[in-house]
Amino acid sequence: MEISFYKYQGTGNDFVMIDDREEKFDDSNLKLVSKLCDRKFGVGADGLILIRNHKDFDFEMIYFNADGSQSMCGNGARCAVAFSAFLGILDEKTSFLAIDGAHEAILKDGLVQLLMGDVAGIDEKEADFFVNTGSPHHIRFVEDVQNYPIFEEGKKVRYDQIYAPAGTNVNFVEKVSADEIFVRTYERGVEDETLSCGTGVTAAAIAFGKDQAAATIKIKTLGGQLSVKFNASENGAFNKVWLIGPAEQVFAGKISV
């Protein structure tokens, strides 16, 4: 079987994108998803995204981590918007469906502005935090994130009993200035550090700016620059949460599987 695909990346978080509006891709075949994401035996990516038609939205995105598990993916959603524009499904504004519900997005000046779901609140985990931004994120503030043992410490938290059985993503955050942070992420389902994590930087920005009524936080990641805007609402929740950054097509191809 030959599969046509496009490769996209959003600040270094990379994805196999498939136009599956004819619904030919077997989304129960998780071995195929993992093979396509394999960096030695397949195309290679952190995740795989199917674009499908939906009667109530411009499109539906179905996201798989490289291990076949599913979750919301912020960078993947930004790439899905750029890919759908490339396919002619949208021009500048869109509403689409993802695993955590409906999202709006705006594609403008080469950036994708993605409206994330409302965030119910922030849980304290000893000296750390936990925030769910459509996928689960543990947040740890550290001094020197560039030299922090991300993989070792990330894996420990990801598999900690307190998060069993689903696990969590783990973000390590260094304050750069009053409105900028540097975030590195160990991603569940990739089981390694990724160059950036959209839902993760969103969670980190909210934990960093949690005491402000409204905030715009710049985020440095190994894969590039993102920004997150949000408003605090009542009872510790957050809304109007926007994740903003680039999303680019790297190449197109076909693979026989």
Residues marked as catalytic: 73, 197
Give the nearest distance from C-beta 114 to ligand API in angstroms.
10
Site for ligand API contains 11 (CB under 6 A): no
Rounded CA gap, 174 and 130, in Å?
16
Q: From 27, 106, 114, select the one nearest 77 (Cα to Cα).
A: 114
Residue 13 makes contact with ligand API by CB under 6 A: yes
Site stretch for ligand API (CB under 6 A), options 51-59, 67-75, 124-132, 227-235: 67-75
d(CA 136, CA 197): 12
Select from 9, 94, 113, 169 the one that contacts ligand API (CB under 6 A). Answer: 169
The answer to whether 171 contacts ligand API (rule: CB under 6 A) is: no
Stretch that binds ligand API, among 30-38, 66-74, 79-87, 216-224 (CB under 6 A): 66-74
Strands (E), the chain: 2-10, 13-19, 47-54, 57-65, 93-98, 101-108, 111-115, 123-125, 128-132, 136-141, 169-177, 180-187, 192-194, 214-221, 224-232, 238-245, 248-256
Residue from 68, 117, 189, 245 that binds ligand API (CB under 6 A)?
Answer: 189
- Per-residue binding string, ligand API, 70-89, x by CB under 6 A, is -x-xxxx-------------
- For strands 224-232 and 238-245, give the pairing: antiparallel
CB of 204 to ligand API, least distance (A): 11
Kindly state the DSSP code that residue 240 receives in the 8-state scheme. E
Is 9 a binding residue for ligand API by CB under 6 A? The answer is no
Residues 6 or more apart whose Cβ sits within 8 Å of residue 164: none
- Please state, in angstroms and rounded to a whole number, the distance separating the CA atoms of residues 244 and 111: 7
- Min dist CB 80 to ligand API, Å, is 11
Q: x-or-dash pattern for ligand API, window 19-58, by CB under 6 A?
A: ---------------------------x------------
Number of residues that bind ligand API (CB under 6 A): 18
